[in-house]
Amino acid sequence: MDFRLLGPLEVLDAHGRPVELGTRKQRAVLAMLALEPGRIVSLDRLIDELWSGEPPSSAMGSLQVYIAKLRKALEPDRPPRTPAAVLVTREPGYLLSVPPGQVDLIRFSTWAEDGSRALGLGEHAMALRHLDRALATWRGEPLAEFAGYGFAQPVAARLEELRATAMEDRFEARLALGEGAACVPDLERLVEAQPFRERLWRLLVLALYRAGRQADALAALRRVRALLADELGLEPGEGLRTLEQAVFAQSPELAAAVPGPARVEVREPAVSPPQATDGLIAREEMLRLIAERLAGTRRGRGGVLLVTGEAGIGKTRLAQAAVDEAEARGLATAWGRCAEDTGAPAFWPWLQVLGSFGQDTAGALRLLSGEARTGGGDPDTALFGLHERVLKELTASGEPRLVVLDDLHWADASSLRLLSFLAAHLHRAPVLILATLRPEPGGDPEQLRDTLGRLVREPGTERLAPAPFTREEVSAYLSRRDLTDPALAAVLHDRTGGNPFFLNELFRLLDSEHRLDAASLGVPAGVREVIGRRVARLPEPTQDLLRCAAVLGREVGFDVLAAVGARPPEEVMSLLEPAVASGLLMELPDGFDYRFSHALVRDALYAELGRLGRARLHLRAGEALESFPGVEASVLAHHFGAASRVGGAAKAVDYAVRAARRSADQHAYDEAVGFWRRALDVLDAADVRRRHELLIGLGRALRAVGDVEGARTALDEAIRIAADLGDRAALVSAIVVFGELAVWNWRAYGESDERMAALLENLLAEPLDDRDRAALLGTLGVELYYSGTRRTEGERLAAEAVAVARTVGDPALLTRVLNNYVIAAWVPERERERRSATEEMLAVPGLPAGAEVVARVFRMAHLLRDGELAEWERDLARCERLLGEVRRPEPEAMVRIAEAAGRTLQGRWEEAERLAGEFTALLDGSSMWAPDFPGLITLFTCRWARGRTGELLGELVARAEHPGMVPLRPVAMLAALDADDRALARELVARWGTEIRDDWSTEFLTVVWGYVAARLGVPEPADLYARLAPYSGRLVVSGMGAAGWGSMHLVLAELARAMGEVEQARAHARQAHETHLRHGLDHWAGQSARLLADLA
């Protein structure tokens, strides 16, 4: 095509035929774009020029019509839904995408410059050829039809100057080639038309002189001198004066050389500057660090970079800069964008990343998406296998890679766990993960907090925190736009807080409203108001489509949007053009889909929708998406769930159930929990049978993530529903889930449910297959544990469950009921039987990793009590390895509690206190009955050993007041005694009593009471001595861990002394001392040595 501006605006097609360009305003749009081919002309500038700075409300829509018609005229054969190739949308406006040579103005400028350059080199014939070609492009006065538009006048004047200079260069070349006489007539006409161009007069004088007309040459010099004096009061310039002297002197130089051309700068028409990288102002140090990390990644030292900052601070811009740098260094790159509230499937960012790396990661992609299965049978083992596969395929090729996880705060829990797993290995691999996130809770606050805590402890993890712009940096931002108004910089900084995105949006708004010189005027107070005002400038149909798009999420499928907006595809593309040109929306490459330029843009549009409007749009989105193949159930569950009050509830339940089951297939158990809960939230209250089904699904999912308390609550309700319905099968299905593998009792301390026990007994009274009978017997055994008089019956039933399960031949069932027995039989006199059950659990074929951790932690307490410290260390090491597979808080907390018991026995107090902090944090929000109990026991032990119990006394007394913290009460009394506050200790005894319950805490609390009784006289020392004497050969351990208090002989010695049995006390003290020395328990050896000395 040929675009002609040097005369009436004209476009010729490939066949040389003129193209119909439409109305004057439409032609003006094309003229502005053709003046700057390949450069973006902003939307605001086009509107301002077309309507002289006073656009009507319909301006944006009218401009879009002009653009659409021009596209049709310029590309009449373009197929529908094919992006325009000539008149292209590019933020913040449009550009004419044609080679420069297809615009006559560019051809003229290029040839004129070539001619001037050849003239300067003395290549006169070549110069003449170039200049003839340049001047031949002119067909008339440029842009004359647009004289009323502001853009046309300066451009036309500049072009006339360029043409005049080219004509002067051409005469100079002709004179050098000996055409002086032929040039005279044309030069005479030109000096008459442009009498004040001194270079023309110089050329005329030379032409006359070289034509042998010296007198005429002198007469011409007199004419120009008189003209300048009379009209302007000026003397001729130096060039004319020098030439006049040479003519008078008949200088031979006049024939031998031509004066050099008066150089006039040849400038192309003004263009919009390229978009500045505003977000990278003041980021030089971070870019340097990123470059260093990328260099390290190429050498096989990857890791994790966390870029943390508020919305709009420039995190994604920094990530894009990292990607650009990585690609320049030869690294492969991939983006994974986390989605907020769009029903994205589990592992969504990782699915994008693995898909980007093609065949290298195809196997991991199939596993992550649920298309293929891992070999592991239990959730923990399967998840570990999946994580291992992702790590292997990401790193196997040895190719250095940069992975960007954008908006990590919205990541699903499964994606966060995978990141945590990978981070532990990437410091030795050529893969760097750069994750951007806001310092706000996000989609799964607890898992995010846990993941970040793990990440910062890993080698190879660093944090970057982009700061808001200072006032000086705002000034630097403005200087890139040729603005140096300090007052404006101050106002923008104050109103935006230096937030780059807010600053950029506010600048665009004020620029479009022509208020950049009005620093004293009020500006919008918030980024949403700014975005709202920018959106309001768009045509109303475009605004409607943007609201539909906001409901679909940050990334918007074109076909889906067309369906939701109920508009033909081509109309949708046309209507979205202004949004793309305005920078609110981006066109994604390789297709027709869109993406909001920033999450804040989408948030602002979504927030504008009222609840009813939002629900209706979600319903339309869900109904539209149902017709598209391959749409994830999670996405449909999200949209119908948001539309549950306007007719989407039934479908929301169905799709949430599908999504929950698919998540479980992907080993994304946290997400499965979420979908089961969504289904329950929108289910019709009258549909109790469906609620029963959903509650069982929820219970199983909660079990898989280790939330025993949450599972109990869900299953309790499912059992009540089944009982009320009289549905025995439904009752069994719920109760069977109830007693699955658990770390501890699913009831709070001291609580039992008689109704549940009765239901179990009724079911067991009727025929059952052995599998269900064993499961129900074990469940009933645990249910009766806190029932008081029936505890021993529960122990017997749990033992029966083990016997039945051994005949079934199901390893999972046997593991489950052995676990039930360990909990049901947790009393001091069953130490040997419980250890035997634990050993049998460890011998079960194919024992899952999670079950092995539980069994080993139980066994570690037995090993400590029996003084098998070397074997205890081996079990601890094995548990540490298993935690690599079972990456959940509760199993890790169990291991840390068990470890703390060993470290307190060894007198490693600082290490034990650190462990207490770790496991207390891990248990925060868990299903344990009192998550701070074990930590308080550990801390008391450490402070007691160092004479600092007074530091904890107030906290211990306050927490022990809680009904669920009964086991802490004797510890608080001992703390009062150790702090020399016998009065408080007696008061606490009077307030709380001295009951010792028969449960898992019995042995340890009897020891605590023993130390209390030895100093206070209550409870009766002889009674306590009788209870503890059978276990004199053990070391003292609190439950399954948390603290170890040396040999049982030590407390027996204290009690014997309180009873007046001094010889007996000495014997126990000697045995305690020998035990402590034999096991290398230095602190406790010191304690027993001092006691022996006191008894001497």
pLDDT in tens, 898-915: 999 999 999 999 999 999
CA distances from 1057 to 238, 996, 1091 (A): 123, 22, 10
Per the CB < 8 A criterion, the answer to whether 421 and 455 are in contact is no
641: nearest Cα among 613, 678, 668, 604: 678
User: Which DSSP letter does residue 4 get?
Assistant: E
pLDDT of residue 514: 61
Three-state SS string over 399-452 comes to CCEEEEEECHHHCCHHHHHHHHHHHCCHHHCCEEEEEEECCCCCCCHHHHHHHH
Query: What is the identity of the amino acid at 797?
Result: L
DSSP 723-756: HHHT-HHHHHHHHHHHTS--SS-SSPTT---HHH
Q: Which residues contact 503 (CB under 8 A, 6 or more apart)?
A: 278, 469, 474, 477, 492, 496
pLDDT of residue 927: 60
Q: Which residues contact 746 (CB under 8 A, 6 or more apart)?
A: 708, 709, 711, 712, 738, 782, 927
Find how far residue 559's CA is from the centre of its chain.
26
* Residue stretches of the chain with pLDDT short of 50: 256-279, 518-521, 523
pLDDT of residue 268: 36
Q: How many CA atoms lie within 13 A of 515 on its CB side?
A: 15
pLDDT of residue 534: 80
Rg (CA), the chain: 42
Find how far residue 269's CA is from the centre of its chain.
43
pLDDT of residue 1055: 98
Helix, strand, coil % in the chain, rounded to nearest 5: 65, 5, 30
CA distances from 1092 to 1011, 1062, 1063, 1073 (A): 16, 11, 11, 8
Per the CB < 8 A criterion, the answer to whether 205 and 217 are in contact is yes
pLDDT of residue 259: 43
CA distances from 818 to 594, 689, 782 (A): 56, 32, 11
pLDDT of residue 670: 87
Q: Which residues contact 774 (CB under 8 A, 6 or more apart)?
A: 801, 802, 804, 805, 808, 813, 817
Helix ranges (DSSP H) in 249-395: 253-256, 284-298, 315-328, 348-356, 362-369, 379-395
Return the number of other C-beta atoms located less than 10 Å from residue 375's C-beta.
Answer: 7
44: nearest Cα among 598, 581, 584, 596: 581
Cα angle for residues 457, 463, 468 (degrees, 5° grid)? 150
pLDDT of residue 224: 79
**Cα separation, 96 vs 657, whole angstroms:** 51
Return the number of other C-beta atoms located less than 10 Å from residue 883's C-beta.
Answer: 17
DSSP 374-395: -S-SSHHHHHHHHHHHHHHHHH
**Cα separation, 806 vs 800, whole angstroms:** 10
**Cα separation, 1089 vs 1096, whole angstroms:** 11
